[in-house]
Chain A
């Protein structure tokens, strides 16, 4: 981690070689998130590149309150949302306060391919929150600014995502 801080400091001073090392260390997690959010390899590659270019431009303003990886994720989410906005708008969901924050677990193990397909089929807004919360472990407090929505909206989207995922995986029937 100390080495990463040194690399960040060097990159912030304009050292492209240090930035390349940061890129190599983080590209898979950034691309993974972009791929999950866009569901398209070409778009995910484009978003990843854009995210790193924006990170380079904003490095001097990186305040190190969060980890560098989290900061990169925030930028990547922003890039994906920006690309989406240029295409179409998202549906607004009414806020709820009683959404479940606990990790999404299954009573009976489910095949990865089946879950991936079910996640892919979710509406964008719900899928984004489920990915960031369920897979990457971010809290609503962190996710809300990433997605540019209110915390309540974030919770509502997660609630919706969980419900839809249960339906699509037919979890109730499996339990019975």
Chain B
């Protein structure tokens, strides 16, 4: 059953439709004409990210060296963990990177975002496992080095997310 619709009437121009759908998808034609654009802020942002990474890396390295210079490996292992976990400068840098992480992740495509989240989760799990092992064998130098390099790796990931072209492919 078909019914003839009454012609639509309006009382103001503002009731007229503002939007209309094109008869075809215009995106492919647009996409073909989009020139790849260089990121104008890429170089300064990369430098800034690099500075953060070096600062935190040095910080972690110093903690490691301070710990390693102690006579007993047992003490040094405990000290490394305690100083890294409790050090305010390191924690501040890490917290700052974690705070800005969601916004930087937003700038990435969903699949890269997921890969980075998976990568960070794996690093955090590794840190927890190493910490647990260090709790049982605090004098194990290999575990100490592994712990420090895992912390550095975490900082490296946190620092460069969303800043460096092609970084996503590394993870």
**Which residues of A are interface residues toward B (Cβ below 8 A)?**
6, 9-10, 13-17, 19-20, 23-24, 27-29, 31-33, 35, 41, 44-45, 48-49, 52-53, 56-57, 60, 103-106, 109-113, 115-116, 130, 134-137
Contact = CB atoms under 8 A, between A and B. Distances in A.
B30 A53 contact: yes
Nearest to B19: A28
Interface stretch (B32-40, B55-63, B87-95, B128-136): B32-40
B13 A49 contact: no
B13 A20 contact: no
B26 A32 contact: no
Interface stretch (B4-12, B75-83, B151-159): B4-12
A106 B17 CA distance: 17
A111 B9 contact: yes
A32 B11 CA distance: 20
Contact of B9 (A10, A104, A105, A112): A112
A9 B107 contact: yes
* Binding site secondary structure of chain B: loop
Nearest to B40: A60
B33 A53 contact: yes
A31 B16 contact: no
B12 A106 contact: yes
A111 B5 CA distance: 13
A134 B107 contact: no
Interface residues of B, number: 35
A80 to B, nearest CB: 14
Contact of A10 (B13, B27, B107): B107
Most chain B Cβ neighbours within 10 Å, of A23, A49, A110: A49
Contacts of A28: 19-21
A105 B11 contact: yes
Contacts of A27: 21-22, 26-27
A49 B26 contact: yes
Contacts of A106: 10-12
A26 B18 CA distance: 11
Contacts of A19: 34
* Closest CB pairs A-B (n = 8): A134-B13, A109-B9, A28-B19, A32-B20, A14-B37, A32-B19, A105-B12, A104-B13
B11 A17 contact: no
A20 B21 contact: no
A49 B19 contact: no
A111 B33 CA distance: 41
